[in-house]
Amino acid sequence: MAIAGIVWACADSGEENFSMFSPEAFVAKEYTPFFYDASYWYYSGNVEVDDNNNRFNDQIVSEWDAYFNDQLSKPTLRYLLLKASQKGIDSANNYVNGKITKLKPDSIQINTSKLDKAKFNNLFAYLKLAKECEKFAVIAPYGWYDTPPTLPPVSAKLESSLSSAFNNSKDPFIKQRLWFQLVRYYFFNDDTIKSKTGAIDNKAGILVWFNNYKGTFPQNLTYYRAMGYVAGYYRRKGNYALSNYLYSRCYDYSYELKIPSKFSFHAQQETDWRATLKLAKTNAEKITLWHMLGMEYDPVRAVKEIAALDPKSDKMDLLLSRIINMSEGEGESNFSGKVADSTQQAIKKAEVTEVNLIDSIALKNNNTKPYYWNLAAGYLNYIYKDYKKAAKFYDVAKKQLPANDKLITAQYKLLTILLNIDELQRIDSKTEAKITEPLTWLVNLRDGKEKIAALRFDPALGICANHIAQIYQKQGDWLKANCFKDSITFYTDSSHVQKLVDLMTKPQKSAFETTMLRYYPHTLDELYYHQATLLTYKEEVDKALQKMSLVKKMSPDTLYANPFNSRLNDCHDCDHVAHQKQKFSPLTFLKTMQSIKTDLKAGKDVYRNAWLLANAYYNITYYGNGRLFYQSAIIGAIDFDPGYISAPFQKMVTSQNIAEKYYLLAMANAQTDEQKARCTFMAAKCERNEYYNQYSANNKNSEIEQAPVPTSGKYFADLKNHYSNTKYYQEVLQECGYFKRFVTGK
């Protein structure tokens, strides 16, 4: 277990990060876990925070490997140190001392002829004690929502065993590890946890053992891990000044200690903080303290203080990245709702302070990465809409960029593209030629044709495309506007869709047109399918079939049910699982409709053909079994409620007018009462569905289940008055509660 104990990182925010500024380009890799993340305490989710039981394993194995001068393989050491039970350790010891002839498991190997048995005996004696310490020091991970597990009692006998082993050991390597185990033992022992507050007890075992021997051992990982437990003791007692200072010392030692030290760092009050600063012995220690405070609370204040102490400190780099990443998006969205004037003024004042500080440091150009500070200053000014200042900083940064650094060069390019696009007011052919290359570069990044690891480019595509679309909209060029920002209303006009088709099939496109179409989200097949859909609902089946025949890759490719069948009660799932002699694709569906319409127009079997067409038009509405027909990539309707269907197409795909027309035509040509009863009831279903359509149109915020029971219409009366003698009438009476209530009044 490491300094802070087991913790799992989480955050209140569920929002995804919005960022176009990559700290990976400028900040040392060891600070990666502390890059700003809008959703987590640590960058990129639970980065190593829940790994306290394993955090130091590699270093521990390496140190023991050096101790044995490679006499034991690393896999064997890893097994003995980290995985083996006491029984497994005993087995290895018996093998080394000749008591058994075979090792278990087979994966470990020990060459006894080359092994320093004295050192192995040291390891064996140490591990017997260390495994006992693991019982209370190594805790299984648990979630933030879980109750922390009860720690097992710390054996009083273990204290004497550890201290005796420490006093008797002559090996400095072993002795330091026994010292660490003793310090950790007292951290978990009752004398450090009986009281969480109160005066520091300088006779507490943890302090006595640490202070008495801290000058005896090298200041290595084991030393600073022990210091971390001492810091934990002071934190428990409420001495935040001293605990924070010690945590900062641990933080500075190694990458592995950074996460637990930062998590445990706890600047409570300004008075505590000032006391902590007084403990710092050098400017470097003060810088580390400000650096840690800046990560948790106020990066602007911390940067100002560090710059005054050492403008070349790399600890400012991380804080600058956090300032920028926290500021991203605020220029547009920060406090867009109503807030008190005083609050708004405070926000603005904080923004001005932030920008002025970064500007002032960048202008001095006296740090180790002036290009970083100039890019950051430029981007911060861009965020807050001062484009002139942003451009000036970018111009300075351009001359300072390190040669052959792909990521930094790409970051500069990305930021300047954002600025240049945002500054556009009008777009003509010259402008299009100018912006073709940067727009191509962005879309190449999106499509993986250009790969720059760690570059945060994705939001830039939407920002640039949206701004360009807005300009084209103002200029009345709806075609180009829609290519950059797709709008569902665009597709209600078939002439608009055809212009897109013409552009996409144009033999000789300009470079700009080629790039522009890469921002457009739909394929030519999807446009043809949409055109066929529009024509189908206009009853222009011949033209619809022509368009559908152009589709090379059909989506959807197969309708789930036979669209020419009818059902007394609407049950899509029932139709979908029913046996179907013939499966219909959208194309074969239209071909069949064309054949039926041809026969109907010729006066052939009018009842049957009108009935089939009525069923087809009923089923390709929201209420039928063939709604998949209209659920294309463009319309993209949701099944739950007609009110959820894309507004421009809601009426088209819910209207019952065409189906009702053909049901009435079929009824007019029916030869039996059974046929007429069937047609009448289906017309009644159309009538009922139109009621729900009207309810959804008039009650945008209500779901269809909330609609009052519809009143009986004219077709219920026709069915009751004229066809009560039919078998189908009895089926309706049995199945339809609405009709039964109409007939019986119950």
Task: Take residue 324 and report the two structure tokens written for it.
Answer: 């920028």
Q: Whole-angstrom Cα distance, residue 107 to residue 286?
A: 49
| Residue 611 CB partners (closer than 8 Å, separation 6+) | 566, 662, 663, 666, 679
pLDDT bin (cut points 50, 70, 90) of residue 329 is low
pLDDT at 5: 30
Average pLDDT of span 570-598 = 94
Q: Are 393 and 381 in contact (CB under 8 A)?
A: yes
> Is the predicted pLDDT of residue 590 greater than 60, yes or no?
yes
**When comparing pLDDT for 531 and 330, which is higher?**
531
DSSP per-residue letters across 639-671: SS-GGGS-HHHHHHHH--HHHHHHHHHHHHT--
Helix axes of 524-537 and 541-548: crossing angle, nearest 10 degrees = 170
Task: Take residue 639 and report the two structure tokens written for it.
Answer: 């099944």
pLDDT in tens, 73-106: 999 999 999 999 889 999 999 999 888 988 877 6
Q: Average pLDDT of the chain?
A: 90
**When comparing pLDDT for 8 and 393, which is higher?**
393
Average pLDDT of span 524-535 = 97
pLDDT at 735: 93
pLDDT at 50: 55
| CA distances to 24, 455, 627 from 451, in Å | 15, 9, 41
3-class secondary structure, 579: coil
Residue with tokens 């064997």: 76
pLDDT at 707: 77
- pTM attached to this predicted model: 0.85
pLDDT in tens, 38-80: 877 788 655 555 567 888 999 999 999 999 999 999 999 999 9
Tally helices (H) and strands (E) across the chain: 36, 0
Residues of the chain with pLDDT > 70, as a percent, come to 91
Average pLDDT of span 294-308 = 95
Residue with tokens 């955050």: 11
Task: Take residue 22 and report the two structure tokens written for it.
Answer: 């990559």
Round to the nearest angstrom and report the end-to-end CA distance of the chain: 72
Q: How many residues does the chain have?
A: 746
Q: CA 255 from chain center: how many Å?
A: 26
> Is the predicted pLDDT of residue 677 greater than 80, yes or no?
yes
Q: CA 415 from chain center: how many Å?
A: 23
> Is the predicted pLDDT of residue 113 greater than 90, yes or no?
no
pLDDT at 551: 97
> Is the predicted pLDDT of residue 337 greater than 70, yes or no?
no
pLDDT in tens, 158-215: 999 999 999 999 999 999 999 999 999 999 885 555 555 567 888 899 999 999 999 9
Q: Are 723 and 676 in contact (CB under 8 A)?
A: yes
| Residue 170 burial by Cβ neighbours in a 10 Å radius (0-12, 13-18, 19+) | exposed
| Residue 8 burial by Cβ neighbours in a 10 Å radius (0-12, 13-18, 19+) | middle
Helix axes of 429-446 and 406-422: crossing angle, nearest 10 degrees = 140
User: What's the sign of the alpha-carbon dihedral 507, 513, 518, 524?
Assistant: negative
pLDDT at 336: 41
Q: Whole-angstrom Cα distance, residue 257 to residue 251?
A: 5
pLDDT at 379: 97
User: By C-alpha distance, which of 79, 81, 67 is closest to 109?
Assistant: 79
Task: Take residue 98 and report the two structure tokens written for it.
Answer: 């000749």
| CA distances to 178, 293, 307, 366, 370 from 287, in Å | 33, 10, 9, 17, 19
DSSP 129: H
| CA distances to 389, 519, 564 from 19, in Å | 21, 20, 52
| CA distances to 81, 129, 599, 600 from 124, in Å | 10, 9, 94, 95
Q: Whole-angstrom Cα distance, residue 370 to residue 367?
A: 6
Q: Are 618 and 659 in contact (CB under 8 A)?
A: yes
Task: Take residue 565 and report the two structure tokens written for it.
Answer: 């069948």
pLDDT at 702: 73
> By 3-state DSSP, what share of the chain in percent is helix, strand and coil, each rounded to 5?
65, 0, 35
DSSP per-residue letters across 533-568: HHHHHTT-HHHHHHHHTT-SS-SS-S-SS-TT---S
Instruction: Tell me which long-range contacts 541-545 makes (C-beta under 8 A, separation of at least 24).
Output: 541/590, 541/593, 541/594, 541/597, 542/594, 544/590, 545/587, 545/590, 545/591, 545/594
Q: Please count the other Cβ atoms lying within 10 Å of the Cβ belonging to residue 215.
A: 7
User: What's the sign of the alpha-carbon dihedral 554, 558, 559, 564?
Assistant: positive
> Is the predicted pLDDT of residue 332 greater than 70, yes or no?
no
Q: Which residues of 127-144 are buried (b: 16+ CB within 10 A; e: fewer)?
A: bebbbbbeebbebeeeee
pLDDT in tens, 445-464: 999 999 999 999 999 999 99
| Residue 455 CB partners (closer than 8 Å, separation 6+) | 22, 25, 407, 410, 411, 414, 445
Q: Please count the other Cβ atoms lying within 10 Å of the Cβ belonging to residue 71.
A: 18
pLDDT at 8: 28
User: By C-alpha distance, which of 18, 26, 16 is closest to 411?
Assistant: 26
Residues of the chain with pLDDT > 90, as a percent, come to 74
